[in-house]
Amino acid sequence: MAHLKTYYQQAKPINQYIEDMNVNKEGLLSIYNSFDFPKDDARLESLKDKGYRHVLIITEDWCTDAMMNNAILKHISEHLNLEVRAFYRDENTDLIDQYLTNGRARAIPIFIFMNDQYEQIAVWGPRALSVQKFVNTLRQNLPDQSDESYDDKEKEFHQTVRNRYLTDHTFWNDVYESIIKSL
């Protein structure tokens, strides 16, 4: 199993990752540009002394959770002067398999916060609690996978989630709060 530093070195700088996006680039940039980052949050200053230096994101362009959460992380990392790199989950599943959600799901994004020696200090992801509750509630309305309408209903589900992520400032603030609290 590779060390976190190896994965980090293989990953793309966050701005290059965003530049190379094909699916959710416009959405990520829209959220990034619309999010009212709380620059006067005193907790941010205290985080500068905690030794955070690098963030490794396990992500994929097609993921709407990554679209929203990566935009918020980008603000935080810029304010804290953290170096952020994005590692594609599907390129090497050895990394994500170390960060399974509920011990089984390769859910993304996962943010791994590290110090100068690339030692893990904190991990966050894949969703803020309020966002998870929203997704769980919405998912309850999906029919069984054997139902002939399942594919259409699943597409509707994903579009509803994406639309909410693109417009819900409360979710953006909840993601921010969740990340800051985990640090």
The one-letter amino acid at 158: H
pLDDT tens, per residue, the chain with 183 residues = 579 999 999 999 999 999 999 999 999 999 999 999 998 999 999 999 999 999 999 999 999 999 999 999 999 999 999 999 999 999 999 999 999 998 999 999 999 999 999 999 999 999 999 999 999 999 999 999 999 999 999 999 999 999 999 999 999 999 999 999 999
- Do the domain assignments include residue 88? yes
Contacts of 166 (CB under 8 A, 6+ apart): 27, 30, 31, 68
DSSP output for the chain: ---HHHHHHHSEEHHHHHHH-SSSHHHHHHHHHH----TT-HHHHHHTTTT--EEEEEE-TT-HHHHHHHHHHHHHHHHHT-EEEEEEGGG-HHHHTTS-BTTTB--S-EEEEE-TT--EEEEE-S--HHHHHHHHHHHTTSPPTTSTTHHHHHHHHHHHHHHHHHH-HHHHHHHHHHHHHH-
CATH number of the domain where residue 25 is located: 3.40.30.10
- In the chain, how many domains are there? 1
- Do the domain assignments include residue 87? yes
Residues in the chain: 183
- Do the domain assignments include residue 147? no
Domain boundaries, position 177: 4-128+171-182
Please tell me the predicted confidence (pLDDT) of residue 39.
87
Buried b (16+ CB within 10 A) or exposed e, 2-22: eebeebbeebbebeebbeebe
* CA atoms of 168 and 106, how far apart (whole Å): 25
- Do the domain assignments include residue 84? yes
- Do the domain assignments include residue 11? yes
- Do the domain assignments include residue 35? yes
- Do the domain assignments include residue 28? yes
For residue 111 the two structure tokens come to 């943010």
* CA atoms of 107 and 127, how far apart (whole Å): 9
Please tell me the predicted confidence (pLDDT) of residue 1.
55
- Do the domain assignments include residue 44? yes
